Amino acid sequence: MPERDDARPGVRGKPALVALPPLSLYVHVPWCVRKCPYCDFNSHERAGGPPEEDYLAALQADLEQAVPSVWGRTVSTVFIGGGTPSLLSAGAVDRMMALFRACLNLEPDAEVTLEANPGTAEADRFEGYARAGVNRLSLGVQSFDDRALEALGRIHDGAQARRAIEMALRAVERVNLDLMYALPGQTLAACERDLREAMSYRTGHLSLYHLTMEPNTVFAKYPPKVPDDDASAAMQDRIVERMGEGGWERYEVSAYARPGQACRHNLNYWRFGDYLGIGPGAHSKLSFQDRILRQARARMPDSWMRQALAYDGSHVAEERVLRAGDLGFEFMLNALRLKDGVEGGLFIERTGLSLLSILPAMRRAAERGLLEPGLERIRATPLGWRFLNDLQMEFLAE
């Protein structure tokens, strides 16, 4: 079946990029000690720890096959996510970083983030990760309340979380804490206690997420009793209020930072930059002068390892070129998450399309009070930010 005319290079409506966007690297480590009942990420329980040698061999094979698609481009950020990447030994992370430096043009001051579990065994490795080149740690604290942590199925307690934070701050200069609210049985006062403690540390970044019942999770099948909409809205309002009073900038829907501490890797996502994803289930967005490509790796760890080592490309489970008609929605899905939005010219630069292609949707959103009028900056109004899904959906029809 032939492609539509507007999907072929050189034909009306085809993206034409003058310059390629910044490039990031995402690395997925899929294993964990125990899968949390709310988690819908590609994570898999494994007794005895991750198979480091097999994983590193497959990761090298995956990267070597991907290098031609990003040849000559500079990598500005690296994010090692999971799963629980902190199950890897410091030696394994050191070898991983050496691989990246050998195969990629990694910026000397690249931001290198590793997600970590606050469990004691993993926290002891933080200084080793720093020596390997990790300069930012993201700790999945979620709560300091032992009862809440138990309800969430976490394997650490509040004391371990506090110890991990102190060790992380000794190891690296930049630390993020992930915190959740609207937890089972949580009151507004308990939410505020968690927040107050998180703000008391010298960390520069906080990610604050509303607990949601994602499909295909244990919580979706057996929902716990959580605060109602009014109670959870009150928690969100209190979080925004307290963080503002404390001098933290809410620069993205769920992200707060002290000055100079915004996550560069996530900013590249939200500004519709490029990212190469390697590891099981990892996703990529890669731009070329005449097209923008999305890829997804094989999801199951054993299949991904076997297929990557075959060097036949079979580890790439999905690949598609984004149609011009999809780019407006894809761009806005990311950019509108930023409090300050983006410059109008960035849409042209990152999609290769004219702003005229999304002008009808922008007008509709502005008429509803969801989007600020004008083309110089694309930014949600306070109302649009509060009802972000409604605003983003305006661009889906385009």
Position 48 pLDDT exceeds 90: no
Burial class (CB in 10 A: 0-12, 13-18, 19+), 301: buried
245-261 pLDDT, tens digit per residue, is 999 999 999 999 999 99
Q: What does the pLDDT look like over 350-390, one tens digit per residue?
A: 999 999 999 999 999 999 999 999 999 999 999 999 999 99
User: In this model, does residue 15 exceed pLDDT 80?
Assistant: no
Mean pLDDT of the chain: 93
CATH architecture of 324-398: Orthogonal Bundle (1.10)
> Percent of the chain beyond pLDDT 90?
91
Least confident of 12-21, 49-58, 199-208: 12-21
Q: 63 by DSSP, 3-state: which?
A: helix
- Find, among 126, 127, 76, 19, the residue nearest to 263 by Cα: 76
Angle formed by the axes of helices 90-103 and 52-66, nearest 10°: 10
Q: What is the mean pLDDT of residues 176-189?
A: 97
Sign of CA dihedral 29, 31, 32, 38: positive
Between CA 290 and CA 302 the distance in angstroms is 35
> So what's the pLDDT on residue 244?
95
Same fold, 15-269 and 324-398: no
Which positions ≥6 away from 294 have C-beta within 8 Å?
A: 283, 284, 285, 286, 318, 319, 320, 321, 322
Q: Provide the residue type at 376 as one letter.
A: E
Rounded CA separation 322/319 (Å)? 10
| Segment 303-349, tens digit of pLDDT | 999 999 999 999 999 999 999 989 999 999 999 999 999 999 999 99
Domain boundaries, the chain: 15-269, 324-398
CATH of domain 15-269: 3.80.30.20
The string of pLDDT tens digits covering residues 75-127 is 999 999 999 999 999 999 999 999 999 999 999 999 999 999 998 667 779 99
**205-210 and 174-181 beta bridge pairing:** parallel
SS3 helix, strand, coil % of the chain, rounded to 5?
40, 25, 35
Residue 40 is predicted with a pLDDT of 87
What pLDDT score does 8 carry? Answer: 32
Of the candidates 342, 320, 322, the one whose C-alpha atom is nearest the C-alpha of residue 267 is 342
Mean pLDDT along residues 188-217: 96
Query: Of 276, 292, 352, whose CA–CA distance to 74 is shortest?
Result: 276
Mean pLDDT of 164-188: 96
Q: Is the dihedral of CA 211, 213, 215, 216 positive or negative?
A: positive
Q: Average the pLDDT over 159-178 and give the result.
A: 96
Of 219, 169, 177, give the one whose Cα is nearest residue 198. 177
| Residue 85 contacts residue 109 (beta carbons within 8 Å) | no
pLDDT at 47: 84
Listed in sequence order, the DSSP H helices in 246-375 are 264-270, 301-309, 324-335, 344-351, 359-367
* Residue 78 DSSP symbol: E
